[in-house]
């Protein structure tokens, strides 16, 4: 069976992080965006990041962050990866990678097939792409909105394009996401929350069980 990376994003507590690590998360994400209910102070993320060291990759999620903000985040948590979830251009992604020497995952929002064309501009620049659903009209957040997009759009994507799939994935639909898109990775946030920004260890456990069941079913 091929590997499937799983990123649990927007972690803020020891209990939720412990559940993500116990479930086998390959990546754990920390959100640095003031308007988000998942926003975390760099120092607290740095403490949680130590718990994850050697077990899962720590991903710092930023939105059109300036250099001073990135400097503070890099110093506090020394992430294994930066996730750029705003409208960062290919040039900005390239400059960030060169300056911080850390792998970068560029998030792109998708509603229709044409949205996937934006990915081409980041090829050879971003280390990985994250295809997320376009936020609903008027949303405050560019991610973490719990909405899906049509996963069938990803079926025809160049097999060499390394991406994670996100947007509204949860225990109930993860099997379909895996079957339809065959992603190399999945990224989940609100699907394992009991309320916005409140991760629920029981939902995290249930999510990992659903992934295992789906993968066994597909392999059989
Ligand atoms: O989750 C947030 O609050 C957030 C805020 C600002 C930028 C990005 C954000 N989340 C990024 C993620 O990687 C989420 O996991 C991804 O959008 C999927 O979220 P969900 O649909 O809730 O599973």
Q: Determine if residue 184 is left, alpha or beta; phi over 0 gives left, psi from -120 to 50 gives alpha, anything else beta.
A: alpha
Cα(34)–Cα(21) distance, integer angstroms: 25
Q: In a mutational test of the pocket of ligand 1, which residue from 8, 9, 198 has the highest number of ligand atoms less than 8 Å from its CB?
A: 9
177 in ligand 1 pocket by Cβ < 6 Å?
no
Question: Is residue 218 pLDDT above 90, yes or no?
Answer: no
ipTM: 0.98
Q: At what angle do helices 201-219 and 14-23 cross, to 10 degrees?
A: 10
As a three-state string, the secondary structure of 84-151 is ECCCCCHHHHHHHHHHHCCCEEEEEEECCHHHHHHHHHHCCCCCEEEEEECCCCCCCCCCCCCCCCCH
169 in ligand 1 pocket by Cβ < 6 Å?
yes
Mean pLDDT of the chain: 96
The CATH class of 5-219 is: alpha beta
pLDDT for 18-41, tens place per residue? 999 999 999 999 999 999 999 999
From 132, 150, 158, 187, the catalytic residue: 132
pLDDT for 138-163, tens place per residue? 999 999 999 999 999 998 787 778 99
CA angle 129, 61, 151 (to 5 degrees): 40
Question: Residue 80's pLDDT is what?
Answer: 98
- Report, as an integer, the average pLDDT of 161-179: 96
For residue 32, how many C-alpha atoms fall within 13 Å in the half-sphere facing its CB? 27
10 in ligand 1 pocket by Cβ < 6 Å?
yes
Tell me the backbone φ, ψ of residue 191, rounded to 5 degrees: -70, -10
Torsion sign across C-alpha atoms 169, 29, 3, 55: negative
- Report, as an integer, the average pLDDT of 71-91: 97
Question: Is residue 1 pLDDT above 80, yes or no?
Answer: no
Question: Is residue 185 pLDDT above 90, yes or no?
Answer: yes
Question: Residue 205's pLDDT is what?
Answer: 98
132 labelled catalytic: yes
Q: What are the residue boundaries of the structural domains of the chain, listed by start?
A: 5-219
Question: Is residue 13 pLDDT above 90, yes or no?
Answer: yes
Instruction: Say if residues 190 and 169 touch (Cβ distance below 8 Å).
Output: no
145 in ligand 1 pocket by Cβ < 6 Å?
yes
5 labelled catalytic: no
Question: Residue 2's pLDDT is what?
Answer: 81
- Report, as an integer, the average pLDDT of 44-61: 98
């Amino acid at each position: 069976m091929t590997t499937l990376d799983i990123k649990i994003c927007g972690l803020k507590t020891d209990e939720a992080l412990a559940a993500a690590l116990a479930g086998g998360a390959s990546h754990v994400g920390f959100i640095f965006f003031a308007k988000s209910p998942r926003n975390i102070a760099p120092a607290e993320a740095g403490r949680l990041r130590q718990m994850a060291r050697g077990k899962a990759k720590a991903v710092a999620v930023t939105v059109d962050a300036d250099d001073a903000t990135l400097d503070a985040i890099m110093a506090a948590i020394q992430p294994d990866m930066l996730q750029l979830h705003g409208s960062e251009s290919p040039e900005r992604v390239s400059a960030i990678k060169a300056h911080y020497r850390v792998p970068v995952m560029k998030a792109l929002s998708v509603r229709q097939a044409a949205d996937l064309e934006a990915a081409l501009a980041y090829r050879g620049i971003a280390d990985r792409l994250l295809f997320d659903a376009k936020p609903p009209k008027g949303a405050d957040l560019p991610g973490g909105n719990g909405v899906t997009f049509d996963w069938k759009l990803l079926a025809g994507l160049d097999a060499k394009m390394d991406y994670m799939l996100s947007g509204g994935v949860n225990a109930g639909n993860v099997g379909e996401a895996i079957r339809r898109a065959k992603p190399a990775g999945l990224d989940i946030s609100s699907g394992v929350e009991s309320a916005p920004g409140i991760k629920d260890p029981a939902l995290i456990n249930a999510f990992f069980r659903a992934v295992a069941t789906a993968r066994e079913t597909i392999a059989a």
